[in-house]
Structures are given as C-alpha cells and as structure tokens.
A and B are shown apart, each in its own frame.
Chain A
Amino acid sequence: MPSDPTPLSDAVLRVSDLRVSFSTRQGIVQAVDGLSLDVGRKEVVGIVGESGSGKSVAMYSMLGLVRDANVTITGSVLFEGREILGLSDREMQPVRGGEIGMIFQDPMTALTPVYTVGWQIVEQLRAHTDMTKRQARTRAVELLAEVGIPDPKSRVDRYPHEFSGGMRQRVVIAMALSCNPRLLIADEPTTALDVTTQAQILDLMEKLQGTYGSSIVIITHDMGVIAEMADRVVVMYAGRPAEIGPELDVVRHPRHPYTWGLLGAVPRVDAKSRRLTTIPGTSISPLDVPVGCAFAPRCEHRMDVCSQRPLMRGDGSHQDACWLSDEQRVAIRTKATAQEASS
C-alpha cells in the first residue's frame, strides 16, 4: 500500500477534527462533525456529498465566512502551517482572496452587478498587492485573456449582466486567480452551467492549475466532476466523512455502503443502464442524526454494532467509517455483481 501521499511538511491545508454546529430554536444542528483532511501541494481534492451533507459549510467555516453568535466551530485548520481558525476578520483579510482564492457556485451573485468586471478585479488586486491602478488594470486584462474571454480589452469595462453564465464563471475564476493563490476553493463551480460550458470551465481550471500550481478543493455533488478533476475524494454524509481515498480507488473499489449507493445511482452516458440502485429513504434531518453511524437508518447492511459511531479506518490512504469487515464487504459486493450479471 502506498504511504500517505501528503506528509505534514507538504500539506498546504491541514484540517483536523473540524466541527461546526448551529444552535437553532429546534435544537443543535451539527453541520460538520469531525472532518479531518490534508490537501497536498498541487493536489486536487474533491469533496462530494448530497445536499445538506455539510460540504459547503465545512469550507466556509474554515475561511471564517460562517460567523454568528449561534455557531460553534472547533478543531484546527492549518494553512501552510498557520492556524487560521479563529482569526479575526482583519487577520483573515490577506488570506481570503489573496492566499486562498474562492470560486462560488452562482457566478451572478459572486459578482456585484453595479461595477464593471474590470473594477472588481482591480479592487481585489489593489487590496492584496501594491500594484498601481494602471498596473492592476493591465493585469486584469491579462487575466481575462488567460481565462479565455474574447476581446478582453473592451470586455474589462463591461458589467456582469453583459456576460453569459459561462463567461461570468470565467470572470470569477480570473478574480480567484488574480493574486496567485496557493489554495483554490471551488464550491460547485459548474453546477449552474450547461454541460458544454461545464466542460470548458473544467478544462480551464485544469490548465490554470498547471500554470499556477495552486492546490484545489472542489466541492460538488457530481461524481463525474470528481472523476474528471480530483486526485483524492472525500465522501461526506450528514456532516461526517464516510470515505476518503485516492479518486481511482474510491470510484473503482468503493468501501462505504453510502458510496456504493451513490455510485450505483448515477445514470450512465457511457453504457446501457440497468435498473439504478437506490438508497432507501432520504437524507436524515440534521436535527436528528443518530448517535451511532449516521448512515445506519438507510443502510441495507446495518448491524447491531452500528448503534455505535464507527471511526475512520483502513489501510493507508484509503479509509472509511463503517463497521463492516473486509470479508463482509467482499461478500456483499460479490453478491451484488452476481445479481447484476444475472438480471
């Protein structure tokens, strides 16, 4: 088995036991419940999960974007060896947008409609570097050209509404990259886009990662996007990591029953599909997460021991949180494959 691919010295981001809870009138919502994750240099890590799995909240709270009297965030987030959890807004200011770039899901709301895109890029450059206005503007035009916006010299003075969805997302990417960040966090960067535009954007992100050498954390619900982009995957369920491992291992040899369900439920473009496997029931209410395994109420392979919370375990880089033994998993998977073949 390969050793852990991200030794401490090389990790750009090191998240340990991150917990985020919201206290609401109905009770405590544990949105993120014990996430640990290392992101290596130039590594692309995908976080995949369904709505409400806590994938976005985890990222936002790391960056200090979730601040409220009703929120409790614990754990540790080391960015290049420095603790960033609990930093004040003033201390976070050079980090956010400077050392850590962000791409959001909806490019229309990520850009302000009342200023030109050039103004917005210049503002960011000026906030994080000591460029003059003129230098920043030249750089803004270069950035727009780099992300493939035709005629950047005139487009720089246009407003966001004058761009299509895909073009807007390119602008957002240009902004995210403007200060040459060491880490890029992309939250559902292509979910709002059509498939041909999504392909353009994913292609662009891959290219730019080559040039800029940033590490990327990409949050998505789409296993296909993960397969396309990520080196490593974290599968989240109910605020907890269910499985972590290299992308190919997770897709080809998934270990957690939730990952089995998630992969089996995707209708395929590349093959005649059989009946889709489903996960019975719906995502559990965040107010009502069981004490034991969070997935147990929907799991077909539930056992008595599942009333206790499973820890992440596994060999080296590929780990999961499930009580099934290796023999049990092999037996279940072999049976499933046999059933599939006979139907």
Chain B
Amino acid sequence: MSGEVLLRATDVVKSFSSRGTKVGTRSVSVAVNGVSLEVKRGETLGIVGESGCGKSTLARCLVQLTPVTSGTVEFKGVTLTGLSRRRLRPHRREMQLVFQDPYASLNPRRTVGDIVADPMRIHKVAGENEIVKRVENLFVTVGLDPSYLRRYPHEFSGGQRQRIGIARALALNPSLVVADEPVSALDVSVQAQVLNLMADLQDELDLTYLFIAHDLGVVRHVSDRVGVMYLGEIVELGDAETLYERPLHPYTEALLSVVPELNDTDAPKRERILISGDVPDPSDRPTGCSFHPRCPIATERCTVEKPALVEIGPGRSVACHYPRNTA
C-alpha cells in the first residue's frame, strides 16, 4: 500500500426533503451527516452499519450518482462535486459500482455480453471487434465461460450474475470499485466464491475497494480498514484488526458482541451487549450524540454535546466522549 489518497470525502452531507405528515409541512431526512473519509490506493475500506444508517447513500454520493447537499469529494486530487455531467464523465470510468441485487442490476432484455460491453461502447474505448475480445477476457477473469456471452441474465444463477456485475464494473479498468452489499443476496457457499474472486481481482488488477455491507464477518474478512456508520455518521474508523479486537465506540462494541458466533472452540463466549430500541428516524435526530438514547454508558453530557470524530491513535478515530478499551 503506497498510502496515496485516491478518494477523499470532506464533510459530505446528503439530505432528502419529503412531504411531512401534516399538510403543507416538509420533513428533512439527513441520510449522510457530515462524513469525512479517505480511501488509499490499493486498500479495501469497509463501511459497515445497519439498515438505514446511510451507507448506500454515502456510496452513491462518493461516486457522484447522487449530488451531495454539501461537502466535497475529491478523486485523484480533482474535486468532483460541482462538476457538470460532461466534465464528470472521464472520471466515472475510474470509479465503478457493483450492486447488491444481481437480479435487479442487470437489464433482462440484453445479453450478458452486451451488458459487459456497454460501458466500453459508451466510453468508446475501442472498436467493436476489440470490445468483444475484451468481453471474452473479462468473462474468463471472473470465472465464467465466454461461450455464455449471448445468453440473458435469467439463465444464470445469483452467483454467476454477480460475476457478470463484477465483469461489467471491471470493463473500463477502474481504479476504484465501490461494492454495495455485493454478496448479501447470495447463499453462503456462493458468497465465499464471490469474496475470494474479489480478493484475487484486487491482487491481479491493483484495485481499490470501497466495500459496503451490513455483515460484520464479511466486512472484517475483506477490509484493511473499517468505518462503522450509525444514523448517517461515521462513529468509528480504524484498522480492521484493531477495530474488531478493541472497539472504541459503544455502538461498535455492542454490534460486535451480538453477532451469533459458531462456538467451535473452547474460547469463552463473548458477553452479549443488547442495545434496546430501534435506530431513530433520520428526520428526527436525537440531540447531542446520535447514539445516546440507546447507549448503555450515555451521560448527561452525551444528550447535549455532540462528539466529533477525533483521531485518538494512529489511524484510529472515534466519535464518543467516553471511548471504550483505551487503557
């Protein structure tokens, strides 16, 4: 890892305004609330969080699929936020997405060969003959038989479709691949195949991944660094190993403690920290720390003063007044 920053987000905010519950009112949901992060070349940054925490919205903001409400996103030193669609286009080639649902993300009326070839046609990277050759190579790269090129998505299983989605993402030789829950729709044995494939591709093609998932095991497995999101904010960021071994934020700690484990060793079972209640409505955020209504160690201070995400060790940041496991 060279440490060069490929993507830098600064204070990204994305809010959605919708009709309120009463006539004439509007309610504003802040889906992403001031996220700053860096993705370094060659690494995998995992973003983990529960449904509704804003992780997918963040991904879409980072690759400019959704305009941000405020804040900036820089990619290879160029500020992308605010660029026109035309000015953005050359940068899009370098950032590609792999989506969650391999059924919904492939056009059922086009052959899988066309689906993978389209990005190259749109960006006019080569002549048609050359493109077909590249598609065949991509199929081999992701472990599919190139003779399937003329088939349609419905003829493939979920795992194969996700391979097609990956081939499409790789078609333009991107440097950054943003994968939004790429394996959550797959059975565990197929999930393992796709995760291993993504790891191999990263080595071979020198890819940088932003990997978004709700499955804590999957995120630990793939990530070099991990960011934990809660209610649109990154509450903890750090090297995957240390974050999982010594979580700092009480939310991370609770989250890790409740993942059902295989008790296949005699190691004592982790004590479950149950957090009560549900994630609050993002249009009606708690005051102070967003997590305080559910936090087992919240104090008076947490209800009024919002903790900032501060670096408390090399590469280790947490947004909490009373970080855990720091001794």
Contacts and interface: CB of A to CB of B under 8 A. Distances in A.
A167 B277 CA distance: 9
Nearest to B244: A269
A282 B217 CA distance: 22
Chain B interface residue bracket vs A: 35 or more
B220 interface: yes
Contacts of B215: 267
B303 interface: no
A166 B279 CA distance: 11
A166 B278 contact: yes
Interface string B178-213: 000000000111111101100100000000000000
Contacts of B158: 282
In this complex, the member of B189, B193, B222 whose beta carbon has the largest number of chain A beta carbons within 10 angstroms is: B189
A268 B219 CA distance: 9
B270 A270 contact: yes
User: Which has the most chain B C-beta neighbours within 10 Å: A225, A251, A265?
Assistant: A265
B254 interface: yes
A264 B260 CA distance: 16
Nearest to B294: A196
Given A166-B278, A222-B260, A265 B255 contact: no
Contacts of A34: none
Contacts of A277: 192
A282 B50 contact: no
B221 A198 contact: no
Contact of B259 (A224, A275, A282): A224
Interface string B261-272: 111110100101
A168 to B, nearest CB: 11
Given A199-B272, A268-B217, A272-B241, A262 B189 contact: yes
Given A166-B278, A194-B51, A224-B259, A261 B264 contact: no
Contacts of A269: 216-217, 220, 244, 256, 259, 261
A21 B189 CA distance: 25
B189 A265 contact: yes
Contacts of B292: none
Given A252-B264, A276-B195, A200 B259 contact: no
Nearest to A150: B277
Given A195-B214, A265-B189, A270-B270, A223 B258 contact: no
A196 B50 contact: yes
The CB with the most chain A CB atoms within 10 A, among B195, B254, B267, is that of: B195
Interface string A32-54: 00000000000000000011000
A93 interface: no
Given A194-B214, A227-B262, A167 B278 contact: yes
Interface string A257-299: 0000111111111101101111110110000000000000000
B187 A51 contact: yes
Contacts of B214: 194-195
A278 B197 CA distance: 11
Contact of A223 (B192, B244, B262): B262
Given A195-B214, A198-B258, A262-B188, A278 B264 contact: no
Nearest to A298: B189
A279 B192 CA distance: 8
A198 B272 CA distance: 12
A267 B220 contact: yes
A171 B244 CA distance: 34
Contact of A225 (B51, B193, B260, B267): B260
Given A199-B274, A251-B262, A272-B220, 19 more contacts: A51-B187, A194-B214, A195-B50, A196-B50, A202-B260, A203-B274, A227-B261, A248-B263, A251-B263, A266-B217, A267-B218, A269-B259, A270-B261, A278-B193, A278-B196, A282-B158, A282-B159, A282-B160, A283-B187
14 contacts: A195-B255, A196-B50, A197-B278, A198-B260, A223-B262, A224-B262, A227-B262, A228-B261, A262-B188, A267-B220, A276-B192, A276-B195, A279-B192, A283-B187
